[in-house]
Structure 1
Amino acid sequence: MSSVGEDEVSSFFESSPPLKNMEDILEKLNGFIELNSSGGRRIVCVTSGGTTVPLEQRCVRYIDNFSSGNRGAASTENFVKAGYAVVFLYRSGTCQPYCRSLPDDPFLECFQFPDKTNIQVHSSHVEAVKMAVMDQQAAVAEARLLKLPFTTIYEYLQMLRLIATALKDFGPCSMFHLAAAVSDFYVPWNSMTEHKIQSGSGPLDISLAQVPKMLSVLRTNWAPKAFCISFKLETDSKILIEKATKALLKYQVHAVVANELSTRKEEVVVVSSSGNVVVRRDSDKPESIVEDNLIRLIVDRHSTYIKESHT
């Protein structure tokens, strides 16, 4: 990465508000990595959900982007099933692993309180709740799942850097599956007003700076030997593959998962130096999701990468 790029990245972090609970996050993260490295297990960091861009330091308003976190949550379940330990870096309030079969709104529909003494799971949701609780508890108990929440672009990028540098010595057995929708633009912290912007001041003009491309520094400095998958979402299918191919070459990631907004739940295209592969959900199985087949392919590619790294 050029020194100009490095300067932009350094400037972003130096001007960012300090990460809350950093010592607690580091303690959890290092303990999780230590437990899994001693067991010889592969570790993947799955990022999930969208980042917010605050408009005030004491934030009332913010700019958000579209991401439910479904892709990251479903990918996490599949990685755990494939034997990985997962650091799940997720936007607070978005979809969680093992919760996809539960009602989103209102969640309390799952429960009933018939005798005013014991809360019970409603019969229509017993199986889904039982599986969600068992799978989640098993993953956490076996040190296979560590969940770390973020909200803002500042929190996300600081936490991603912590995770990447903590995994640096883990080498080829580590992976980054970067499914989060990361803001391209932000309001620099130092140029932001402290208090709520007053509506009586008239029309609001906001100048947004470009978020430095952290993918470059992740690949070259933070965790250069890790296997790295990035994502490209577009609403125009005509430019999708071209944009994904450019990202593959620019950032030197191992694959880019290209998904078009309207068809993203049915199929994606995995773009890599060995060619493009269309991955679809199994349409003959109603419960099938595209992540089942996507993660199977990525795990296979990661295995090949590890073997090649050791020869």
Structure 2
Amino acid sequence: MHMSPRGHFHRVLYQGWICSYILISEPYCRSLPEDPFLECFESIGDFDIRVRPPYSEAVNRAISDHHAAIAGGQLLKLPFTTIFEYLQILQMAALSMRTLGPNAMFYLAAAVSDFYVPWESMAEHKIQSGSGPLDMRLVQVPKMLSVLKKEWTPLAFCISFKLETDTKILLEKADMALKKYKMHMVVANELSTRKEEVTVVSPSGKIPVHRDKTQPGSDVEKPLIELIVDRHSVHVKECGT
């Protein structure tokens, strides 16, 4: 079960197209430590802080890129906490982008909860420990990818992600998701190697994507995004003919 205590829904203007990203972490922060405020900064007085030298370049780049995107109207962050908020935001964003047709892209990278507690089953007040053992029944989260593709934004370019710890079933499940939900691409991640390589599953075949190990500080996201942009361009042209 993938639990997301807090995520962000992002709308990004990329090369003239509107792209919606649903992510768990903040954009521009992947080069920072997982606990950036505690690791990157240090106190130099009662009211002042400064960036620790090992992180100065990464922090400066993250802050500059973030503010540039905000100032340029290229990034809109809509925070969500619960699965109820997530599904509502997804629907509103999809319907608002419907008029963009094939120019719209959904990059669904958030590890959303697989199970949840239905609203009507939630306790109204704090559960008392003296009540004895606690039994909780979780319900499977509705699969909304098919609704997104068929009803909300039928012409949008949609990419979903599949994360597994067992490589033996990863590609099989990614292929099943591609066919079941009519995605244009499914990015297959294996937990232990996801930062080094992924496999993009599409109707035309499986494409391995690797981090460029000859470039210091490189990650797998750059070649992955380049591939997605290329395929999206083809999608836009095909829909226009």
Fold match (TM-score > 0.5): yes
Question: How many percent of aligned residue pairs carry the same amino acid?
Answer: 59
Alignment partners' CA distance in 2, 1:283 and 1:295: 17
- 1:178 and 2:108 equivalent? yes
Moved over 6 A (4+): 66-69
> CA distance change for structure 1 residues 127 and 309 in 2, over 3 Å: closer, same or farther?
same
Amino acid at match of 1:139: A
| Deviation of the 1:99 alpha carbon | 2.0
> CA distance change for structure 1 residues 133 and 109 in 2, over 3 Å: closer, same or farther?
same
Secondary structure of the equivalent of 1:131? helix
The unaligned stretches of length 5 or more in structure 1 are 1-62
| Deviation of the 1:88 alpha carbon | 4.4
The unaligned stretches of length 5 or more in structure 2 are none
Of 201, 205, 214, the match for 1:284: 214
Alpha carbons 1:258, 1:270 under 8 Å: kept: yes
Alignment partners' CA distance in 2, 1:308 and 1:168: 18
| Deviation of the 1:120 alpha carbon | 4.1
Alpha carbons 2:69, 2:75 under 8 Å: kept: yes
Alignment partners' CA distance in 2, 1:186 and 1:235: 22
Alignment partners' CA distance in 2, 1:117 and 1:151: 31
Secondary structure of the equivalent of 1:286? coil
Partner in structure 2 of residue 10 of structure 1? none
- 1:157 and 2:95 equivalent? no
Alpha carbons 1:86, 1:146 under 8 Å: kept: no
Secondary structure of the equivalent of 2:232? helix
Q: How many residues align?
A: 240
| Deviation of the 1:113 alpha carbon | 5.7
Summarize deviations over 1:144-192 as a string: whole Å, max 9, x none: 1111111111111111111001101111000011111122222111122
TM-score by length of 1: 0.69
* Root-mean-square deviation (Å): 2.7
Of 208, 233, 250, the match for 2:180: 250
Partner in structure 2 of residue 188 of structure 1? 118
- 1:140 and 2:140 equivalent? no
Quick check: which one's strand share is greater?
2
Amino acid at match of 1:155: E
TM-score by length of 2: 0.88
Partner in structure 2 of residue 210 of structure 1? 140
Partner in structure 1 of residue 3 of structure 2? 65
Quick check: which one's helix share is greater?
1
| Deviation of the 1:305 alpha carbon | 0.2
